[in-house]
């Protein structure tokens, strides 16, 4: 599946959706600072990888997908949940890159310039996350091809499993 840039979604988002993200992001960043001051950097640091805006973002994805399906005259509950679930699967892959970001900052920051370390670590996060996503796409493509061959031999046998998998990689 090819990665595409589609800015049409920006027009559909409402002002309060941006405000919610800003407020959640700002609150968690401020809380991380307060917790670090109170309990030390070892505890405060945990919150640098806190899924801050995740529940809000997933709820917005569910709502958007549900509305889209309902405009098309379909029941949107299930596809709303699935869309948020697929987004969460992406976040799980991104969190592997997040761990690499943390290791680079932990190891390099005391010896190098902040801007250099943060730029390098962010690039490493992006490259690692995209590589994991690509790898998963390849594995899923192979699995789909295998199921497709199997269902050719046994019509209808694996159709349900195939549809679940297709839903996952959308």
Partner 1 sequence: MEFAQGKATPRTRMNDILLRFIVGGAVVSGFALLGDILKPKSFAGLFGAAPSVAIATLVLTVSTQGKVYASLEARSMLFGAVAFFFYALLVSRLLIRGRRSVLPVTALSMTLWFGCAFGCWYAVLR
Q: In the window 105-134, what residues touch partner 1 (CB under 8 A)?
A: 105-107, 109-110, 114, 118, 121-122, 125, 129-130, 133
- Least distance from C-beta 152 to partner 1, angstroms? 26
When the beta carbons of 99 and 148 are compared against partner 1, the nearer one is 99
61 in Cβ contact with 76 (< 8 Å): no
Phi-psi region of 112 (alpha: psi -120 to 50; beta: other; left: phi over 0): beta
When the beta carbons of 119 and 152 are compared against partner 1, the nearer one is 119
At 48, list the tokens.
Answer: 């640098």
Picking from 66, 70, 56, the residue whose alpha carbon sits closest to that of residue 19 is: 56
- Distance CA(51)–CA(29), nearest Å, equals 11
- Least distance from C-beta 151 to partner 1, angstroms? 21
Contact code string over 52-91 relative to partner 1, x by CB under 8 A: xxxx-xxx-xx--------------x--xxxxxxxxxxxx
């Amino acid at each position: 599946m090819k990665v595409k840039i589609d800015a049409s979604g920006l027009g559909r988002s409402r002002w309060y959706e941006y405000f919610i993200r800003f407020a959640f992001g700002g609150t968690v960043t401020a809380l991380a600072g307060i917790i670090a001051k109170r309990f030390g950097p070892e505890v405060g640091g945990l919150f640098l990888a806190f899924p801050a805006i995740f529940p809000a973002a997933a709820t917005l994805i569910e709502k958007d997908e549900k509305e889209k399906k309902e405009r098309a005259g379909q029941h949107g509950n299930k596809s709303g949940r699935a869309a948020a679930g697929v987004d969460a699967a992406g976040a799980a892959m991104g969190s592997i890159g997040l761990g690499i970001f943390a290791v680079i900052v932990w190891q390099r920051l005391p010896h190098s310039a902040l801007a250099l370390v943060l730029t390098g670590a962010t690039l490493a996060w992006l490259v690692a996350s995209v590589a994991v996503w690509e790898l998963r796409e390849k594995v899923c493509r192979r699995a789909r091809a295998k199921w497709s061959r199997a269902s050719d031999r046994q019509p209808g046998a694996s159709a349900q499993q195939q549809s679940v998998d297709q839903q996952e990689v959308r």
